[in-house]
Amino acid sequence: QKEVEQDPGPLSVPEGAIVSLNCTYSNSAFQYFMWYRQYSRKGPELLMYTYSSGNKEDGRFTAQVDKSSKYISLFIRDSQPSDSATYLCASGAGRRALTFGSGTRLQVQP
């Protein structure tokens, strides 16, 4: 079993929809939770960063972490065609490198 599991999609939504992306993780030691966005043939770029449990909001994006259920979520409001990309969740602890999920491919249709 992978330490971070993510539904690969693809997920196709109409412009303006609310998108929900989810991951689960198995390592109780994980403290840091990130969402990266990766456009085709580009490197991942950090979108959201959360430490421990709770919510974090940044514009149209909200990240949630529930450590009791080991569940990580990213919500995108008013989705735009420019949001079409692969979204990667990642988790880590201490001096360890990050462990990434397999990524969910999102397509926002105009």
Partner 1 sequence: GAGVSQTPSNKVTEKGKYVELRCDPISGHTALYWYRQSLGQGPEFLIYFQGTGAADDSGLPNDRFFAVRPEGSVSTLKIQRTERGDSAVYLCASSLGQGAGETQYFGPGTRLLVL
**Residues at the site binding partner 1, with contacts judged by CB under 8 A:** 4, 6, 8, 31-32, 36, 41-46, 49, 51, 88, 90-103
Comparing CA positions, the residue from 3, 44, 9, 38 lying closest to residue 24 is 3
Least spacing, CB of residue 96 vs partner 1, in Å: 5
Q: What is the distance between the alpha carbons of residues 110 and 108, in angstroms, rounded to a whole number?
A: 6
CB of 19 within 8 A of CB of 34?
no
Comparing CA positions, the residue from 51, 30, 36 lying closest to residue 88 is 36
Q: 76 or 88, CB closer to partner 1? A: 88
Least spacing, CB of residue 16 vs partner 1, in Å: 28
Least spacing, CB of residue 21 vs partner 1, in Å: 13
Q: 17 or 32, CB closer to partner 1? A: 32
